[in-house]
Chain A
């Protein structure tokens, strides 16, 4: 898979090399937003049929969805085993750099896009709300760390590394779109993109405190938090490919 991404990127560069001139002779600055967060980009032509875009995007957690009925024990240290259901708010939370190549088969704005998003593996923030008060004093133990709630809310993050590992993600992107970030004949232009990032299997992570006081991010596992993991897996199994829909407005700087 990694080889395919690298070969695709190389193909884009080679296409531009074949075009000969018109390489990096203009530069546009763009801002936009979509399901991959709010972003800014720099874009430049690599010949007549390829434009390269590099940028950084982050989601501010403004857009989200609430999942109802996540089962948790009423008391995680209790003998009764009684379960209760609480809602989980999920908000977009990605933060990554991206390097994308728009490939134009014709003279119009229609393009294919190949590229990669790289950065934090987190793509959403999750908050279990309305937890019983006991969760403020006792916690869930994962990988030797204790994860506690604060005022009945337990913060967690959804992470997916794509082709990366741990908390650093490398997510290949493939899509189509319309528009040219750099237009020699116009100062302002736009681009609309629709595609998907491969992000692989998701995991729910939270910040926990170890026995000797160190704080680290730990993953909710089937062994330690079966019901929460099961509820989250029910949603994230459809998100191995993150749907990416965005719109950018560009201003040509030179």
Chain B
């Protein structure tokens, strides 16, 4: 009995245990995934419209056509949309009607709020393969800015406010050429299977670009030169971690210092 007691005592002294970190990276299909697609009308006032997988839209009209955020050449509109049969009600913009089945040419009828006529034109519908959890709309929980030199230093910000980040760069001795308006806070990021990248800001402004996914990399290009920021390089990477998406934009400061802006994204419901 004594020997058994001793053997158990000795064994107990050598035991240890560990606990694995939970990683839940499963995503349900976005609720509007079957309606997602990009429309490019052949003619008419509407230049472009895209319905995202998560129920966001972006549409463009020639500058000054409709009251709203005005740029020199193109006005960008964004918001949520609802579906009623073949009709798509774009909040604060108008109505699109078309057969949303597969990529190809469709008859598109649309009316824009504040404009009296209803227009029917031929349009090209592009629907991408829904093969990546990345293709949906996201909100930004927080942003981490990481500098790599002799040490890898990082700072975190709540949400993503590019003005705040630019001020941080400047405060720490870097030059930033962009004149970023105050309150230029990112409200949502949408990446679509049709190949669009959409940044919507709290002041209603929109940056729209095209993007391609290659492995864990997202290469993007803004539609207009004035979109985005001079420190962005057009390259990003993404990964999923604990039910979040980490989107890391590669940046360059003063032409030499490599900086990564990592956004922690939560799925927009």
Contacts and interface: CB of A to CB of B under 8 A. Distances in A.
Interface of A: 23-24, 27, 42, 44, 52, 54-56, 72-73, 75-81, 97-99, 118-120, 137-142, 146, 167-168, 210-214, 216, 223-228, 254
Contacts of B144: 141, 146, 211
Contacts of B18: 167-168
B14 A99 contact: yes
A168 B16 contact: yes
Contacts of A140: 151-154
Q: Which of B2, B21, B152, B243 has the most CB of A within 10 A?
A: B152
A138 B13 contact: no
A118 B14 CA distance: 7
Interface string B139-176: 00010111101111111100000000000100011100
B254 A79 contact: yes
Contacts of B257: 79
B269 interface: no
Given A24-B6, A54-B9, A119-B16, A79 B154 contact: no
Given A24-B6, A27-B6, A76 B21 contact: no
B154 A54 contact: no
Q: Which of B18, B147, B242, B264 has the most CB of A within 10 A?
A: B147
Nearest to B264: A211
B14 to A, nearest CB: 5
A114 to B, nearest CB: 16
B264 A73 contact: no
A224 B6 contact: no
Given A24-B2, A146-B144, A77 B155 contact: yes
A27 B2 contact: yes
Contact of B173 (A56, A76, A78, A254): A78
Given A97-B13, A141-B146, A77 B6 contact: no
Q: Which of B10, B18, B150, B242 has the most CB of A within 10 A?
A: B150
Contacts of A139: 153-155
A78 B241 CA distance: 29
A225 to B, nearest CB: 5
Q: Which of A78, A225, A226 has the most CB of B within 10 A?
A: A78
Interface string B11-23: 0011010100100
Nearest to B153: A76
A225 B151 contact: yes
A76 B257 CA distance: 13
A80 B151 contact: no
B246 interface: yes
Nearest to B152: A224
B151 A42 contact: no
B221 to A, nearest CB: 26
B156 to A, nearest CB: 7
B258 to A, nearest CB: 12
A81 B154 contact: no
A211 B241 contact: yes
B244 interface: yes
A75 B10 contact: no
Contacts of B2: 24, 27, 254
A81 B256 CA distance: 13
Nearest to B14: A97
A141 B174 contact: no
A73 B21 contact: no
A73 B241 contact: no
A153 B155 CA distance: 17
25 contacts: A23-B3, A24-B3, A42-B6, A54-B13, A55-B13, A73-B150, A73-B153, A76-B147, A77-B155, A77-B168, A80-B173, A97-B13, A97-B14, A99-B14, A139-B153, A140-B151, A141-B154, A146-B154, A211-B144, A211-B262, A211-B264, A212-B243, A214-B21, A227-B151, A228-B151
Contacts of A81: 149-150
B246 A211 contact: yes
A52 B2 CA distance: 15
Nearest to A216: B21
Nearest to B242: A212
Contacts of B241: 210-212
